Amino acid sequence: MRRPVFLGSLRRTTPISERWGFDRGTPIDRYYIEHFLAANRKDITGQALEVKDSVYTDRFGSGITATSIVDIDSRNDRATIVADLGVGGSLPESSFDCFVLTQTLQYVGDLDAAISNAFGALRPGGALLATVPAITRGSGPGEPVDLWRFTADGCSRLFTRAFGDDAVSVKSYGNVLAAVAFLTGLAHEELKEGELAANDSRFPVIIGIRAIRP
């Protein structure tokens, strides 16, 4: 016999937060992004490249000698490189020791071109630290149009095509509770640490990719 499930505040057809939880605290995907970067912080060093701003390089990097910021939007005053990642050769060749590429590839039409572009921008031994959404809300009016959702197996195929089989490690982050909470707009502060830390690869919130240019 089935036991009743009490949905409470989740019995609704609209999200609790329309802003991914920013108005309630910190979005749940940020919790996982930050854990991925913290686990790989030794790679964030030397000449660094980050998208849109340098928040994660500043927070997790060490021994940074210079930071460049890439954005497709020329109105971003922080951007030192204005480029479309999906256009081959739009990044300086062999120029960076680390590329922090978080939650960006879902907006790029040509994924293979973007990943090859990132590969080309790294110096030999340089690290690409990328995160992509496995689950998230779609784009709304006036928001950038996102195109993709990702799986760990799909990311392995995408990134090994550019970097090679032995240069890529992929990890999923999240579980079914975290995924439901993220979709409805709860903040990570509203879940317990153990609930967030539990990992179930069947229900990822994000995928983290570490790829090293040979």
pLDDT at residue 140 tops 90: no
CATH architecture of the domain formed by 29-169: 3-Layer(aba) Sandwich (3.40)
Q: What is the mean pLDDT of the chain?
A: 96
Where do runs of H (alpha helix) occur along the chain? 28-39, 55-60, 111-121, 152-163, 176-184, 193-197
- Identify the residue whose tokens are 């689950």: 135
- Sheet architecture: strand order including 122-133: 81-82, 64-71, 46-51, 96-102, 122-133, 206-212, 168-173
Pairing, β 64-71 against β 46-51: parallel
Quote the pLDDT of residue 6: 85
Quote the pLDDT of residue 49: 98
pLDDT at residue 2 tops 90: no
Q: Give SS3 for 105.
A: helix
Tens digits of residue pLDDT in 149-173: 999 999 999 999 999 999 999 999 9
Quote the pLDDT of residue 142: 86
Q: How confident is the model at residue 32 (pLDDT cuts 50, 70, 90)?
A: very high
d(Cα 100, Cα 113) in Å, to the nearest integer? 17
Quote the pLDDT of residue 189: 97
Domain residue limits, the chain: 29-169
d(Cα 159, Cα 183) in Å, to the nearest integer? 27
